Amino acid sequence: MTLLEARGLQRHFGGIPAVDGVDLTLRAGEIHALIGPNGAGKTTLVSLLSGRITPQAGRILFAGEDITALPAHRRVAKGIAYTFQITSIYPRLTVFDNVALALRDSRDLPRAVGAALARTGLQALAGETAGELSYGHQRLLELTMGLALKPRLLILDEPTQGLANEDIAGFKALVRSLVPETTVLLIEHNMEVVMDLADRITVLNFGRSLASGTPAEVRANADVQAAYLGGDDAEA
């Protein structure tokens, strides 16, 4: 089943075609990685999907419904969560209160927060001040805030950036535990993480989709090798 389908998405900034007619299909329950060189349009594309910015052309269907014109908060209500950068956590508040703020109008807030923290293993840190957590734990908190909403689609923008190797192993296990209930779209520069986690990969280059397929298909694609992978598993 297709969960999300984007067709002909276009977003220019001034003269720059950041996203230039991109099609993207996300299957329900998959881990889909979005890769490509710096400036390829990855963040712009997921901003279009989450509703942070609006496309100049194209449309987006989510669970069969046209959401192209919906504002971000309506898309969140429909089950699209986009984990914000670390700056979006409230450093002076506790871990618990950060998650509570993400949930806001949940009926049984303490229980919902507890469940979200248990999911990512942060229960023991619930009373800690968020700003005093290690970097890895702050990233995990950000992920917890997204997951607390029980999204159907979770969009992660460079989640392993700045993480230590031992944290990356934990992160991969966590993402695997989310599917198939949650579909995951992951912008990721770490090729080892991409090749290990992704069911399918879409490669962007100059605002266009260069290829989409399984890791093996993408790896074997000559255009992708020339533009990005350098013929090997080289990191971007």
Binding residues for ligand ATP, rule: CB under 6 A, are 13, 16, 18, 36, 38-44
Q: Residue 11 CB, nearest distance to ligand ATP (Å)?
A: 8
How near is the Cβ of 37 to ligand ATP at its closest, in Å?
Answer: 7
Minimal distance, residue 117 CB to ligand ATP, in Å: 29
Enter the DSSP assignment of 103. H
CB nearer to ligand ATP: give 40 or 112: 40
| Closest CB 24 distance from ligand ATP, rounded Å | 14
For ligand ATP, the closer CB: 41 or 55: 41
Q: Which residues contact 6 (CB under 8 A, 6 or more apart)?
A: 22, 23, 24, 25, 45, 48, 49, 58, 59, 60, 61
Angstrom distance (rounded) from CA 81 to CA 69: 17
Report the nearest approach of ligand ATP to the CB of residue 222 (Å): 21
Strands, DSSP E only, in the chain? 2-13, 16-27, 31-35, 57-62, 65-66, 80-83, 153-157, 183-187, 200-205, 208-213
The dihedrals phi and psi of 171, each to the nearest 5 degrees, come to: -65, -45
Which is closer to ligand ATP, CB of 39 or CB of 215? 39
Q: Which of 87, 83, 2 is nearest to 47 (CA)?
A: 83
Nearer to ligand ATP, 44 or 183 (CB): 44
Q: Which is nearer to ligand ATP, 45 or 140 (by Cβ)?
A: 45
